[in-house]
Structure 1
Amino acid sequence: MPIQHAIWQVGQQPLPLKNCKLPSEQLLEEMIVSDPRILSSEWMLIGRQEITSFGGRIDLLAIAPDGSLVLIELKRDRTPREIVAQALDYASWLQGLTADRLVQIYSRFSNGGSLETAFQNRFGAPLDEDSLNHTHQIIIAAAEIDPSTERIVGYLNERDIPINVIFFQVFQHGEHQLLSRTWLIDPGETQANAAVGKSNVGEKEPWNGEYYVSFGDATSRSWDDARKFGYISAGGGTWYTQTLKMLSPGDRVWVNIPKKGYVGVGIVEQAVQPASEFTVMTDHGEQSVMEVVLHGAKYKALADTPELSEQFVKVKWIDTLEANKAFNEVGLFGNQNTVCQPTTPKWRHTVERLKQVFSTPSA
C-alpha cells in the first residue's frame, strides 16, 4: 500500500503540519549533494548527472563501504513506472564500469579528487580494486509511487534484485519547510540482496541455509572475546549492523575474519541486541558486555547513539580457531557484508571445505 507520512507539532492540542512541495526537485538533489546523510550516513557520493553510453544521465552515484555501488534516481517529472524501467536500464550500464572509469567519474564529480584517497578518508579502509563495483543497489527517490510500481519493486526485490524506494516528504512549519525520509523496504533486505553480487548471475543455486558472517575491524572488536563469551557483533553504522537482523535462533553461522580466514562455526541462540542490553556469563555471574570485553568502553560511549552502537548476536560455538590460526585458501567465499545468504557454488564449496577443517558433530 502507498506510503503515507504525517507529522504533528507536540503540545496540549497536537497540530498537524501541512504537506507541501519543494520549489524544485533540483533543490532536493542539491541538498543531497550538500549532505549525503539525507540518503544514508553509510554511503559516499562519487558521481552526479553522469552520462551513460545509452545517452541517459544518472542523477547520483554513491559507493558503499564494501566497494559496491548505489545508483540513485530522482523521480523528477517521470512517471513512477517509467523511472523503474529507466533505473534498470542505467543499472545495466553501471555493472560494466571498470575501476579506471569510476576513478574518472569521481574526479569529475570532485573537481580532480582521488577516489582512493576519499574512500580511505571516508571509511577508514583502503579501496580494494577487486571489490570495487562487484555489485550494486538501485535506489529510487520519490515523493510517492503508485500501487503497480510498489508491486514491481517488491517483486524484483523478492527475486534478489537489490532495488528500493526512498520517500521524501516536505512539511510546512511556520516559515520553514521540514524534510522527512522513509523506506519502502528495509534497507538491510536490499543490502542483503546486493551482497550476492553480479558475479553470481548465471551461476546461482538454492541457498544451503547456512549464513556467512564477516567479523571485521580488530580496532573495535576482539575475536578472543567473541570466542570466550559466545557472540558475533558489528557496529559503527547501520550498513554494518542491519544485516545482523537476518539471523534467528537456530541458524548456523560460519565466521570469517577479512584478510585472515575462517575462525568459527556456531548456532545462533538469540536475535540481535544492542550493547546496552546484551549480557554475557562471567565468573562473577551475568554481566553487561560493556563491562567485561576489551572494547567495552567504546561500546558504552556509543550506546546511546543507535545508528553507531555495537550490536550483538549470541552464538553457541561448535568449533573455533584462534585468529592467528584462521583457515584460508584460494577459492573460499568472502564478502564484506556482516551477514549474507550466499547463493553461489563457491559458497557450497566453501562450506564443504570448512566442514573438513572444523568439528561439526551436529551437521
Structure 2
Amino acid sequence: MSLIGFRREDDEIEYLEEVAYSEEHLEDDLHEVIHSDPRLVMGTLTTRENVILGSKPQLPTGKEPDLLVCDKRGTLTTIEFKRDRSPRSAVTQLFDYASSVARLDQDEFFDLTDYESLTELYEAFDRGEDAEFDIDDFEREFTEGVESPQLMLVAYTITDDVRRMTRWLRDAHDLKINCVEFDYYEKDNAEMFVPTIIGADETQEIKEREESPKRQMYRRFFGEVLGRFKDELSGVTSKSAGGDSWLTIPTGHTDVELVWHFKGDPGDKELHVVMNFQFDDRKRNEELLETVLSSIDNRSLDVPEEIHSEEYGSSGYTRLFIGREVGRLDDALDDEELKAWGVDRMAEFHEQLTPVLDEELR
C-alpha cells in the first residue's frame, strides 16, 4: 500500500491512499476517464495535441476497439482497456483491431469516426507552431498510421507475461506497442491516476528509425542545442529532442513556454527564440505579454536583436520572439555560430523572463 502526500497552503500534508481500482469501478469508467482527456495515457509518447477519433467504433469484423486516437501529426493509436489485470488475449485483440483497420480505405475509415474527412481532422488541430506541417504531410503520416497504428493496452496491472510479449514485439519486430499501468489513489471525493508507460523508449527508437530525412535533421540540430543548453542551465529540463521543427523549454508555468522554432520556406528559414502565452483567456495572454515586454528594459536583457510580438493562432494566444536568418535547414547543422546564438538567447530569456512570470503568476 503506497501513499501520495500533498501540501496545501497552510502547510498541512494530506494523503491519498492507493486502492485497487477494480474493486469499485467498471471498465467503462476507465474508458470514460481516458476519453475525457487522452493525455493521461498519451503524454509520455507524444507531447502533441490528441483528439478522439472514435469510441468503440464497429469495425467490419464486428470488433470494437475501445478508443481510436490521433495526434496533430496524424499518428494513429488504437487503445484497449482492462480495469484489472491485463490478459494475454488483450494483445491478440489489439492485433485483430490493427489488421482490420489496415484493410480500410480512407473513406471507409472516416465512416467509423466522428470526423467526415481527413481535411476536417487536420483542421481540428491548432496549427500555430506547426504551420509548415501541411495537409499533405499530415495525410502521409495518417496513411502510414492506418496501415500500421500504434497499439496501447491500459490496465491497473500489466502482468509479467504481457510485458515480456510486448517487449519482444518491439525489439524483434519494430512493432509500436505499449502498455500503460496505472496506480489509483483516492480520498474523500479526490481521485488520482498515476500512469506508467511501459516501452516508451523502445517505441521512440522505432519512430526515429522511421523518420524522414527532414525530421532527422531537426532531431540532430535540437539534440546538439539542447545538450549545450542543459550544460549551461542544468535542472531546467530533462526532455530530449524530437523530430519536429520546434522544441519547447519549460518555464515552470503550464500555459507559458519557451520555444526554439524554425520558421519559413525550405530554402529561406529563420530560427526563432520564442516565449508563448497560451491561456484560455485571450485578455490574460495580451496582458501578460505586455507585462513581460515592459519588464525587458528594466532587466537589461542582453538581446541585441529586435524583439517582436504578436497574437497567433485562433485561440487568442500571444508571443514575443527574436529571429536569426538560417537559409537551408542542412546549413543549420554545420552553423556553430547559429547553435551558440540559440543557446545564449534561450538561456537569457529563461534567466531574465521567468522571474517576471513567477512574480505575476505565483
TM-score, normalised with respect to structure 1: 0.52
Superposed structure 1 runs of 4+ greater than 6 Å apart: 11-14, 256-259, 292-298
Amino acid at match of 1:19: V
Question: What aligned pairs does 1:6-45 form with structure 2 within 5 A after superposition?
Answer: 6-10=3-7, 15=15, 17-21=17-21, 23-40=25-42, 42=48, 43-45=50-52
Letter in 1 for 2:33: M
Equivalent residue, structure 1, for 2:360: none
Q: How big is each residue's C-alpha offset from its partner over 1:215-264, in whole Å with a ceiling of 9 and x where there is no partner?
A: 39xxxxxxxxx79xx7479xxxxxxx966279xxxxxxxxx99973799x
Post-superposition shift, 1:7?
A: 2.3
* Contact 1:215-1:258 at 8 Å conserved across structures: no
**Alignment correspondent of 1:72:** 79
Aligned-pair CA distance for 1:99: 2.3
**Native 8 Å contact 1:5 1:169 kept in 2:** no
C-alpha contact (below 8 Å) 1:50/1:57 kept by paired residues: yes
Of 93, 97, 119, 1:116 maps to 119
**Residues 1:132 and 2:142 are matched in the alignment:** yes
**Aligned 8 A contact 1:9 1:17 in 2:** no
Q: 1:167 to 1:56 in 2, by over 3 A?
A: same
Q: CA deviation at 1:165?
A: 0.9
Contact 2:16–2:186, Cα closer than 8 Å, also in 1: no
Identify the structure with bigger relative contact order (alpha carbons < 8 Å, sequence gap 6+). Answer: 1
The residue identity in structure 2 corresponding to 1:164 is N
Q: CA shift at 1:36, angstroms?
A: 2.5
Contact 2:176–2:203 at 8 Å: present in 1 too?
yes
Match of 1:150 among 163, 169, 179: 163
CA deviation string 1:54-78 (max 9, x = no partner): 3311110111232221111112578
**8 A Cα contact 2:86 2:157, kept in partner:** no
1:84 aligns with 2:52: no
2:177–2:203: 8 Å Cα contact kept in structure 1?
A: yes
For 1:193, what is the secondary structure of its paired residue? helix
**Structure 1 counterpart of 2:266, one-letter code:** K
Q: Aligned pair in 2 of structure 1 residues 151, 324: CA closer, same or farther (>3 Å)?
A: closer
Q: Is 2:175 the counterpart of 1:161?
A: yes
C-alpha RMSD of the superposition: 4.8
Letter in 2 for 1:120: E
Check if 1:179 corresponds to 2:193: yes
* Equivalent of residue 328 in structure 2, options 303, 323, 334: 323
Q: CA deviation at 1:45?
A: 1.4
d(CA) in 2 for partners of 1:65, 1:290 = 35
Aligned AA (2:150): Q
Give the aligned residue type for 1:179.
F
Q: Counterpart of 1:101? A: 108
* CA 1:33–1:290: 2 relative to 1, 3 Å: farther
Q: Deviations over 1:26-72 (max 9, x none)?
A: 12212222222223353221122122233311110111232221111
TM-score (normalised: structure 2): 0.52
Partner of 1:244: 241
**1:134 offset after TM fit, Å?**
0.8
2:67·2:78 contact (CA, 8 Å) conserved in 1?
yes
More helix by share: 2
* 2:63 paired with 1:49: no
Segments of 5+ residues of structure 1 without an aligned counterpart are: 201-209, 217-225, 234-240, 247-255, 264-274, 276-288, 299-320, 327-363
The aligned counterpart of 1:309 is none
Change (3 A) 1:30 1:211: same
Q: Which amino acid aligns with 1:17?
A: E
Instruction: Identify if the C-alpha distance between structure 1 residues 16 and 175 changes in structure 2 by more than 3 Å, giving closer, same or farther.
Output: closer
| Separation in 1, partners of 2:27, 2:302 | 45
Q: Take 1:5 and 1:78, find their aligned partners in 2: how far apart are those partners?
A: 19
Find the residue that maps to 1:244 and give its secondary structure: coil
Give the counterpart letter for 1:149 in structure 2.
V
Tell me how many residue pairs correspond in the alignment.
Answer: 242
Q: Is the 8 A contact 1:45 1:61 kept in 2?
A: yes
